[in-house]
């Protein structure tokens, strides 16, 4: 099933690149799956990790498509990791923080941690190259708001503190967004 999910995600993200780079987008969901695999070998979670952006970022793919292809559990995880793009950046990110702190299951948090750790690794890498110019890549160019978002998730991930990935996430957030 994981191989099927990789093929599905690769086809869905075909032609997409990561923001501000020429790298194929599929590298991100594959990294998320690798991070999640370090925390669990649950096949549904690994499939959801590689599929986590297809509903949000790919035209013509619905949560029902994921449910049909991969079942209710995978679809549920993908749904929980998807943002409603009709809302503002602040509304979407605030919802994510609130969800992680108050309602997310442990499994949903593990997938989200994989996603956010992959993102903060990329930010750390690119920040060391581009400095403050990095923020120009994003719709939300305000570094303080980006900091609010990444720092806001730390509490939501706190019950995953036994994982090295949580410690790495916290360390990288503090490096990219040092407290003033």
Catalytically annotated residues: 56-57
- Tell me the C-alpha distance between 54 and 132, whole Å: 30
Task: Quote the Cα angle for 95-58-5, to 5°.
Answer: 95
- Tell me the C-alpha distance between 66 and 68, whole Å: 5
Structure tokens at 35: 């991070």
- Tell me the C-alpha distance between 178 and 180, whole Å: 6
Q: Enter the DSSP assignment of 62.
A: -
């Amino acid at each position: 099933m994981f191989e099927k999910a990789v093929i599905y995600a690769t086809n869905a993200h075909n032609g997409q690149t990561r923001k501000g780079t020429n790298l194929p987008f599929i590298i991100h969901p594959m990294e998320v799956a690798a991070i999640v695999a370090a925390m669990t070998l649950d096949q549904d979670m690994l499939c959801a990790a590689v599929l986590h952006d297809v509903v949000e970022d790919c035209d013509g793919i619905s949560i029902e498509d994921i449910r049909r292809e991969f079942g209710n559990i995978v679809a549920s995880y993908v749904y929980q990791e998807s943002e409603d793009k009709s809302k503002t950046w602040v509304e979407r990110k605030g919802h994510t923080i609130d969800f992680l702190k108050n309602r997310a299951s442990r499994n949903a948090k593990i997938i989200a941690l994989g996603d956010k750790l992959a993102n903060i690794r990329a930010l750390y890498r690119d920040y060391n190259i581009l400095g403050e110019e990095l923020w120009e890549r994003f719709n939300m160019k305000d570094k303080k708001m980006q900091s609010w978002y990444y720092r806001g998730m730390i509490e939501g991930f706190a019950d995953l503190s036994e994982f090295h990935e949580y410690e790495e996430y916290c360390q990288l957030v503090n490096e990219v967004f040092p407290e003033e």
